[in-house]
A and B are shown apart, each in its own frame.
Chain A
Amino acid sequence: MEFRPTPVNWMVLGAMGAYVAAALALGAGALVGMGRASRRRGRAPGKAARALRVVGWALFAAGFAVSLAAWLVRWHEVQHAPLQNLYEVCLTMGALMLPISLFCRRVLRVGAEWADAVLAAVVLFPVAMVFNPEPQHLPAALQSPLFVPHVATYLAAYVVLGKAAVQAFGCLVRRPVATGDSTGRAERGGELLGAGASADLSRATYTMVCFGFPLLTLGLVLGAWWGKLAWDDYWNWDPKELWSFVSWLVFLAYLHFRAVRGPRSPVLGSVLVLAGTACILITLLWANLSRLFAGLHSYA
């Protein structure tokens, strides 16, 4: 592990710093707001919480601007959309986080932006410190109109389902605390993730999976279609293909489970979502980096 001082890596380092600072500010804002809300239920967050959130969002936006600039510089360097290898894939995910976070907040009403900023910093870390930044030519098989839609759709799905995993994790680790409200109890952890009780976290998890699953399906099908055009078969039983299929199956199992049980078993549902996210990590990292899984995707 070493820092390779390329212009893109310097920008990535800057973006990581902004994301970490954004996570701290947004997290502190959520904690301050949560404390105030616990003391006086129903009151709007105070000035300090609001100021921390504004600073947090500004830092988040700054991190996004720098990582987007790094992504564009990389595109110029390699002369193709930077989605070829893990270096470029993680760089892209670092730039995707803010737009997806904003969409989830505004449209889906799912918060936890501080966790999104942490995720953005985490995915950018190996870009600066681990992966080889040497530009590579695109092999013939990757020169396809399906290259960008297939990879970009998968990355968007991974980011969304990563957010689902954060909500699922919150659902698992929530714990009751005494409050001054009429019920006398609330659950700590929910507010920090932008939701109230475990039912809200479970609903937020389900909302995120419902948003991410069609993207995951589209990525899988675009890959199969591309495989048919490039390698003569839509399914080659390659380890990365199989791991991506396993990820899809686990989220499919979650959706069926949710259809049977509804919101009644949030813990088991959350475990399934976390298992699906673990499979995504294996698909994205282990299947590419481990020599156990040599296959058609080893170029990445």
Chain B
Amino acid sequence: MRRMRAIGLWATLAAVGVLAALSVVGTFRGAVGARTLFTSEPLAVFWILLAAFLVACFFFGTGLVRSPGLVAMHVGSILILVGAMWGSDKGHSVAEKLLGWKKIPHGYMMIREGAATDEVTDDATGEPVGRLPFQVGLKDFRIEYYPAQGPWKLWFEMLVPPGHAPQMGWVPIEWKEGEEISVGQTALRVRVVKYLRGARAVADATGDLVGAEADPESRTPAMEVEVAIRDQAFRGWILVPEGEDRGSLSLAPIMPKDLSKEAAPNLWLVQPRGMPKDYFSDLAVRKGGAVVAEKTIEVNDPLGWGGYHFYQYDYDHERGEYTVLSVRSDSGLYAVYAGFVLLVAGTFVRFWFERARAGWRRRRSDGVQADAR
């Protein structure tokens, strides 16, 4: 019996050594390379053998069953391995072949605001991999930013009709008061005449806003700019409406007529933003035309429904009009979670409580012997 126990423990050491060596190799291959390595067929065989070995530990006189902590640790490890294999791509294909359970293991969904879809695309290729038995709709997408300090940003915006080159949308202008700056690849030149950190608008006799003046109590800035293109020049104020995060000035007066009509060129004064703090997608799950589940998801708070989990993965960085969800099948997930609980509980029971209890018993028996003497 003792020999079997020793053989089992040395075999465990060998398995742990192999796993550690493979993990070290994996660290040098990057996450994608490591995933490929650990999900390859030889490694699938290794995982199955490891799980079988852990099961065998209960039957070959290792003394495992005498310790509740060790039992929990080993059962936990088995559950984690089985759950992870069940939830893997290969696990899904085996379940489909043997049991007829057809489920998409993982993929992505890109959903525009106001739209709904059931199509899941492949992580790597972007090709459709299947359809869910329900639709997921995006009611609203929002980004929350950290506050940022510093002067507001100046942008040039022009809508370029298809076929025109260069294609241009928004061009940032790195401005400095008094300096003339060329805008991107265009002939447009901009000079910031005056920048007021806090300003209020000034109206003429007819009520039209014609400029701005400094107002120490205001948090809304204003900027006077001089814009020139070839031999045409134009001076005006960019005013920001109270409570808004941006204000604009139309450049139509100095643009060629056809271009100003089609391209609607503007200068924008935009409040600077810090880095994104969080992203929120208001999702609605629809089945048979009815909404069956709703949730606002964010990073760290996914939606679980119908055997899948939907994670906030990415979003439209330009205009915030669509969200990208990562879709994961939840096959095997709860086995893994149960394994986590048992593994952690087992280590604490084994190495904290069983050791403390053994120490207490030893001290008590020493005390009894001392009393007897």
Q: Enumerate chain A interface residues (CB-CB to B < 8 A).
A: 137-141, 143-144, 146, 210-211, 213-214, 217-218, 221, 224-226, 228-239, 242-243, 245-246, 249-250, 252-253, 255-257, 259-260, 287, 292-296
Contact = CB atoms under 8 A, between A and B. Distances in A.
Contact of B326 (A232, A249, A296): A232
Interface in B23-45: 23-24, 26-28, 30-32, 34-35, 38
Given A224-B340, A242-B26, A253-B20, A137 B274 contact: yes
A252 B16 contact: yes
Contacts of A259: 9
B254 to A, nearest CB: 40
B275 A139 contact: yes
Contacts of B313: 232
Contacts of A239: 26-27, 30-31, 34
Contacts of A229: 300-302
Interface residues of B, number: 51
B302 A140 contact: no
A237 B38 contact: yes
Contact of B344 (A218, A232, A236): A218
Nearest to B63: A259
B213 interface: no
Contact of A213 (B20, B31, B278, B347): B347
B31 A295 contact: yes
B314 to A, nearest CB: 11
15 contacts: A137-B275, A141-B300, A214-B350, A214-B351, A217-B343, A221-B340, A231-B311, A234-B336, A237-B35, A237-B38, A246-B24, A246-B27, A253-B17, A259-B9, A294-B30
B328 A253 contact: no
Nearest to B349: A214
A214 B30 contact: no
Contacts of B336: 234
A84 B23 CA distance: 25
Nearest to B299: A140
Contacts of A213: 347, 351
B27 A243 contact: yes
A250 B20 contact: yes
Given A214-B348, A237-B34, A260-B10, A246 B23 contact: yes
Contacts of A243: 23, 27
B106 to A, nearest CB: 7
Contact of B20 (A146, A231, A249): A249
B277 interface: yes
A256 B12 contact: yes
Nearest to B351: A210
Interface in B316-373: 326, 328, 333, 336-337, 340, 343-344, 347-348, 350-352, 355
Nearest to A257: B13
B311 A232 contact: yes
Contacts of A224: 340
B239 to A, nearest CB: 31
A221 B299 contact: no
Contacts of A232: 106, 302, 309, 311, 313, 326, 328
Nearest to A141: B299
Nearest to A210: B351
B31 A238 contact: yes
A216 to B, nearest CB: 9
B84 interface: yes
Contacts of B299: 140-141, 143, 230
A143 B300 contact: yes
A39 B226 CA distance: 91
Contacts of B26: 237, 239, 242
Nearest to A237: B34
Contacts of A221: 340, 343-344
Greatest chain A CB density within 10 A among B276, B299, B337 is at: B299
A253 B13 contact: yes
A196 to B, nearest CB: 18
Contacts of A211: 351-352
B57 to A, nearest CB: 11
Contacts of B31: 236-239, 295-296
Interface in B149-199: none
A-B pairs, top 4 by smallest CB distance, nearest first, are A237-B34, A214-B347, A140-B299, A210-B351
B19 interface: yes
Contacts of A234: 336
B6 interface: yes
A207 to B, nearest CB: 8
B234 to A, nearest CB: 39
Given A221-B344, A242-B34, A140 B351 contact: no
Contacts of A143: 277-278, 299-300
B299 to A, nearest CB: 4
Nearest to A241: B31
B16 A253 contact: yes
A214 B23 contact: no
Contacts of B141: none
Q: Which residue, of A141, A256, A296, has the highest number of chain B Cβ atoms within 10 A?
A: A256
B59 interface: no
B27 to A, nearest CB: 4
Contacts of B27: 239, 242-243, 246, 287, 293
B13 A256 contact: yes
A221 B339 CA distance: 10
A105 B89 CA distance: 50
Interface string B266-285: 00000000111111000000
Contacts of B12: 256
B6 A260 contact: yes
A79 to B, nearest CB: 10
Nearest to A296: B31
A116 to B, nearest CB: 21
B344 to A, nearest CB: 5
Contacts of B34: 237, 239, 242
